[in-house]
Amino acid sequence: MRIFSGIQPTGKKHLGNYIGAISQYVDLQDQGDPSIFCVVDLHSISVAYDPKEQRERVYDTAAILLAAGLDPERCIFFRQSDVPEHTELTWLLSSITSHGDLNRMTQFKEKSAKQRERVASALFFYPVLMAADILAYRTTLVPVGDDQRQHIELARQVATNFNQRYGETFVVPDWRIPEVGARIMDLKNPESKMSTTSENPAGTVYVLDEPKAIEKKFKSATTDSGSEVVRAPDKPGISNLVEILAFVTGSTMDQVEADFAGQQYGAFKGAVAEAVIEYLRPVQEKYAEIRPDEAALEAVLGAGAAKAQAIAGPIVAEARDKMGLGPTVG
Ligand code: TYM
């Protein structure tokens, strides 16, 4: 099994990223042959960004993943732009990806509709770069949150198209979307997923938020009518909190409901806040140790890039050759 996943260095990482994706990376780091994790800085330039802050954001994200428990001795961990095979393969794959398929991507529709300034064509191409990330390593399994399902379907389609047109080259990857925590919702607007671009900043809990801020956000979380701590379609706020508490305490959602039977929303929200603060505390402490040493972070990312390139280089060269590009091989 070969595992690959990517995470953007944009903004700050939130509890949805942590529960839906980062914790999966840590659990799966020993299970791949190898497991490969990438800070996708090239994806983040598809929307407005500040080049002066870009490297800082990569270090922030890298330090969060290391603090969460990724061990560069046990997996490959690198920065996307250090391995140029990703961009080359994007172009190769773009020739067999239809414009119509990209037009159907819901994330593109949502992100481009939200944007007031010009929409970069990189945003439209985003899923092709993501397919290249995955296919360049002949990945079999991609751990992600629920919102990436459509992008992985596209990567599967692109691999299939390529193999049909040019002969067996790429592996058609599967996704791994966790049963609990695949879609953590915004605390203020629990009909929408938690994200960095939400309208109300109080709805998003960041991995690096101070305990006081975390407490405040959970205590002011939107709850639903009624008073029972149970999951229900008309109780998206409480359902989300039940899921978060089950995840961070390693319990089940049924158990959480049983534990809080007969209790008030206020007490329940306080308990969720406390559990999340304790869950994030060791990550925050480790982050504070790791983040200042940028040279050490660069060394980790650089060593990871060399290992990544050793895998992607021959695979992308094979694709190039099968497409009839470059000099005759062999
Ligand atoms: P990014 O950086 O937006 O998100 C990183 C991961 O966090 C998951 N996630 C969530 N999970 C649960 N609840 C939420 N509210 C929530 N919000 C985000 C995402 O599903 C993701 O797994 N396109 C990807 C990055 C990428 C990638 C790849 C992923 C680039 N190349 C190749 C896998 C394979 C993204 O935007 O991630």
Dig out the tokens for 293 from the structure.
Answer: 């040493």
Could you tell me the end-to-end alpha-carbon distance of the chain, in angstroms, rounded to an integer?
29
User: Is the pLDDT assigned to residue 329 strictly greater than 80?
Assistant: no
Q: Do both 98 and 119 map to the same domain? A: yes
Residue range(s) defining the domain that contains residue 19: 3-182+292-322
Q: What are 4-33's pLDDT values in tens digits?
A: 999 999 768 999 999 999 999 999 999 999
Q: What are 168-208's pLDDT values in tens digits?
A: 999 999 999 999 999 999 999 999 999 988 888 999 999 99
Give yes or no for residue 169 CB within 6 A of ligand 1. no
Q: Do both 213 and 147 map to the same domain? A: no
Asked if residue 328 belongs to a domain, the reply is no
What average pLDDT does this structure show over 271-299? 98
Give yes or no for residue 142 CB within 6 A of ligand 1. yes
**Rounded Cα–Cα distance for residues 210 and 159 (Å):** 43
Q: Which atom of ligand 1 is least distant from the CA of 185?
A: 15
Q: Helix, strand, or coil here: 179?
A: coil
Q: Do both 81 and 205 map to the same domain? A: no
Residue 172 φ then ψ, to 5°: -85, 115
pTM for the model stands at: 0.96
Task: Tell me the sheet residues that pair with 76.
Answer: 36
Q: Do both 120 and 209 map to the same domain? A: no
User: Is the pLDDT assigned to residue 273 strictly greater than 70?
Assistant: yes
Residue 6 φ then ψ, to 5°: -130, 155
Residue located nearest, by CA, to atom 26 of ligand 1: 6
Q: Do both 224 and 309 map to the same domain? A: no
Identify the pLDDT of residue 330: 62
Q: Do both 118 and 242 map to the same domain? A: no
Asked if residue 43 belongs to a domain, the reply is yes
Residue of 2, 5, 7 to mutate, ligand 1, most atoms within 8 A of C-beta: 7
**Rounded Cα–Cα distance for residues 128 and 120 (Å):** 14
Give yes or no for residue 14 CB within 6 A of ligand 1. no
Residue located nearest, by CA, to atom 34 of ligand 1: 5
Give yes or no for residue 65 CB within 6 A of ligand 1. no
Give yes or no for residue 135 CB within 6 A of ligand 1. no
Look up the CATH number of the domain holding residue 95. Answer: 3.40.50.620
**Rounded Cα–Cα distance for residues 150 and 146 (Å):** 9
Look up the CATH number of the domain holding residue 253. Answer: 1.10.240.10
For the chain, what is the domain count?
2
Asked if residue 11 belongs to a domain, the reply is yes
